[in-house]
Amino acid sequence: MRVAIVGATGAVGHELLKVLESSTLQFDELLLFASPRSAGTQLTFRGQPLTVQVTPEGAIDADVILASAGGSISKALAPKWVEGGAVVIDNSSAFRYDADVPLVVPEVNGDAALAHRGIIANPNCTTAIAVVAVAPIHRAYGVKRMIVSTYQATSGAGAKGMEELLDQTRAELNGEQAQASVFAHPIPFNVIPHIDAFQDNGYTKEEMKVAWETRKIIGDDSLKISCTAVRIPTLRTHSEAITLELERPATPEAVRELLAGAAGVEVRDNPEGKLYPMPLTASGKYDVEVGRIRESLVFDGGIDLFVAGDQLLKGAALNAVQIAEYLQQKGALKAKQRA
């Protein structure tokens, strides 16, 4: 079994290497690809140096390709990788809305991955983190409406987003004017309610991704979802305040108990002990932290909660590897015959 990472030198690529180190996925060889800028770079995997290669224009001789080099690379090359016999787990938004491409969070809709036709899409990071907490509540109580406000880290814009936060913070502390390039405005000591492009309806594409993708993963087109997506000056981990209107009334105690038994969730909810989800504690963690679970003051029997999930892990690299693990556990991942 041969696994390849395309975009191995990026922020998500780096996490893919780390997650694969301790993954249960059985494979014999790992191939690393990035842009020509990184050709020859050495990265370490399980104590061994691996050399980064230039991403070829055509097929890659691998059984599983974890792609995290952006939408245009995936759009152009993923069909060729599939033709070459690989299963592609794509971290970009290139194929997420195609009817024949499963959009998968294994804890929620793992079985959808089994129906793939070569490409499986990894959801937008904000969506992946939210659905881990919301799907069990939906199954038990039926979510009718969901209102989300996000607090998203600079890691959502890749390694260069994180560098911009650090560089601009240094500049500001030195009394210099910070120059914005990745983000629309300087990010230190600021919050920016603008992630991805504005749409005709006044929402950003990031906000609409949460609505479109949550519906597809949960498998309920009637779910009404509204999101305000905001970039904040943290390095990694996205946080989200979520309000849920439910078909059947829930109590905070029952939801706390339900989520305590849910896969991929860590309930962190003791306000008196100053225990709640935060980027500080959720960063580097596989589970999504969920807390501040309380009765909605707006929707009778509804629930308000706060989640924090590592965007680079559950929001990207970890979820992608978990999809591969799921396929292998189900016997749906086969190594190609090689001479």
73 binds ligand A2P (CB under 6 A): yes
Q: Who contacts 188 (Cβ-Cβ below 8 Å, separation ≥6)? A: 165, 168, 169, 172, 178, 233
Q: 154, 165 in Cβ contact below 8 A?
A: yes
* From candidates 60, 69, 121, 293, binder to ligand A2P by CB under 6 A: 69
Any binding-site annotation on 171?
no
87-90/119-121 β-pairing: parallel
Within positions 158 to 197, which residues make up the interface with ligand A2P, using CB under 6 A? 158-160
* From candidates 20, 50, 55, 250, binder to ligand A2P by CB under 6 A: 55
Which of the stretches 3-11, 107-115, 170-178, 313-321 binds ligand A2P when contact is defined by CB under 6 A? Answer: 3-11
Active-site position among 14, 116, 125, 138: 125
Q: 187, 233 in Cβ contact below 8 A?
A: yes
Which of the stretches 8-16, 59-67, 124-132, 173-181 binds ligand A2P when contact is defined by CB under 6 A? Answer: 8-16
Is 125 considered catalytic here?
yes
57 binds ligand A2P (CB under 6 A): no
Spell out, one character per residue from 278 to 307, where the chain touches ligand A2P: x when CB under 6 A holds, - when not.
------------------------------
Q: 278, 239 in Cβ contact below 8 A?
A: yes
* Amino acid in the structure at residue 195: I
Q: Between residues 37 and 248, which has the closer beta carbon with respect to ligand A2P?
A: 37
* From candidates 2, 4, 9, 126, binder to ligand A2P by CB under 6 A: 9
* From candidates 2, 10, 103, 178, binder to ligand A2P by CB under 6 A: 10
Q: 306, 240 in Cβ contact below 8 A?
A: yes
Q: Who contacts 162 (Cβ-Cβ below 8 Å, separation ≥6)? A: 11, 154, 155, 235, 236
Any binding-site annotation on 170?
no
Question: Dihedral angle at the C-alpha atoms of 114, 116, 122, 128, nearest 10 degrees?
Answer: -50
Q: Which helix (H) or strand (E) holds 150?
A: strand 143-151
Residues annotated in a binding site? 9-12, 37-38, 96, 152, 155-156, 231, 311
Q: Which residue ranges make up the site for ligand A2P (CB under 6 A)?
A: 7-11, 13, 34-35, 37-38, 55, 69-70, 73, 158-160
